[in-house]
Amino acid sequence: MWGKRSVLLGTATALLAMTAGIFAADAASASTPVLVLYSAQGYDQAEATAFQQATGIKVELSDMSTGPLLAKVQAEKQNPQWDVIWFDGNGAMSSLNRQGMLLQGWTPGDIANYNSLGLRLLPQNHGFFPTGVTAAGALVYNTKLVSAANAPRTWQDLLKPEFRNAVGMNNPAISGPTYPLVAGMFQLMGVNRGMSYFEALKRNGLKVFPTNGNTLQALLNGTIKVAMFQDSAEINAKLSGDPVNVIYPTTGVTMLPSDIAINAKAPDMAIAKEFVQFVLSGKGQKVMQDIQAAGSDSLFQPVTKVVNPLYVRKGVKWNVVSPVWAGTHEAAWTQWFTDNIVR
């Protein structure tokens, strides 16, 4: 009788101890801060790792192309799951800002690190923060297939008969840098003439690929001879020894800022702010330049005074597109491109 009771008491005690342990583990888990980062940057994993090592704050990273990332954000609009978002293209970021999805009016301490370019690209309401700049698109050609004398020097050169079925670019519905390239052409040429230009490219055999990597591979394997896509990827290919050369048309190239922002309803607002400040700090900016970890995205033009560029762009005329103007038209113009150029 007593022996049985002792067994029951022992079992109950063990169950209580086990339950207490579960509650303790849950409490510990609940008290451990987690930053949810949605990003389309090559250096996001390196940055997340460095931040976690510096602060002890775990980072849950969702890395994807910009198009799917923005679709995910819009799908979660009523119940956002992210704390911080980071991608190329201030037009799309401006659109999120106007929708009230981004935290506004907050100033990180490391804003003092901005150079004149960074301050120029910073919106007045501080809804998002530039972290670097590349060109949305420059010309790049395969030097084994095109001689320097015959290489295209202007955007209009891509319409020449010798480049029929030999020009490629990315799909703006998927590739983050490509919509700014399209919007930049529309600003440079006028919207109607810009649309006519892309239609002429299509008639001349333009090939559209998903992202930088696909377009570069097509250029290297001879599927195309010339391409236009984000210049950091083009520069990286050249520095890596691939047979390519990069050309910046004299009419200019569209400036493409990479921007970071905080969810206005961020579940963990304090750590979201801490992460943005880390990215803008000297340590965070240096992590972005770890080319071994981040690849071509590290070849950005700095918007801060705390780092120097890994690659100096020379003789580039920068065309700056209004992010509000570009963002307002993004959905319609991306759909136009899909309907009239991709299909």
* Residue 223 CB partners (closer than 8 Å, separation 6+): 168, 207
Superfamily of domain 138-254+330-342: Periplasmic binding protein-like II (3.40.190.10)
Q: Which two tokens stand for residue 284?
A: 């965070």
Same fold, 31-133+257-318 and 138-254+330-342: yes
Neighbours of 171 (CB within 10 A): 21
CA–CA dist 189, 180 (Å, integer): 14
Neighbours of 343 (CB within 10 A): 8
Q: Using DSSP bridges, classify how beta strands 207-209 and 34-39 pair: parallel, antiparallel or unpaired.
A: unpaired
CB 296 within 8 A of CB 233: yes
Instruction: Return the biggest CA–CA distance within the chain.
Output: 102
Domain extents in the chain: 31-133+257-318, 138-254+330-342
Convert 130-139 to b/e letters by CB count within 10 Å (16 or more is b): bbbbbbbbbb
CA–CA dist 202, 240 (Å, integer): 31
pTM, whole model, 2 decimals?
Answer: 0.84
pLDDT of residue 1: 38
* Residue 56 CB partners (closer than 8 Å, separation 6+): none
pLDDT of residue 4: 36
DSSP state of 127: S
Q: Using DSSP bridges, classify how beta strands 129-135 and 253-262 pair: parallel, antiparallel or unpaired.
A: antiparallel
CA Rg, the chain, in Å? 24
Q: Tens-of-pLDDT digits for all 343 residues of the chain?
A: 344 334 443 444 444 444 445 444 444 445 678 999 999 999 999 999 999 999 999 999 999 989 899 999 999 999 999 999 999 989 999 999 999 999 999 999 889 999 999 999 999 999 999 999 999 999 999 999 999 999 999 999 999 999 999 999 999 999 988 999 999 999 999 999 999 999 999 999 999 999 999 999 999 999 999 999 999 999 999 999 999 999 999 999 999 999 999 999 998 899 999 999 999 999 999 999 999 888 899 999 999 999 999 999 988 999 999 999 999 999 999 999 999 999 9
Q: Would you identify the CATH topology of the domain 31-133+257-318?
A: D-Maltodextrin-Binding Protein; domain 2 (3.40.190)
Sign of the Cα torsion 98, 175, 115, 56 reads positive
Look-up of token digits 């960074």? 118
CA–CA dist 140, 237 (Å, integer): 10
Neighbours of 25 (CB within 10 A): 10
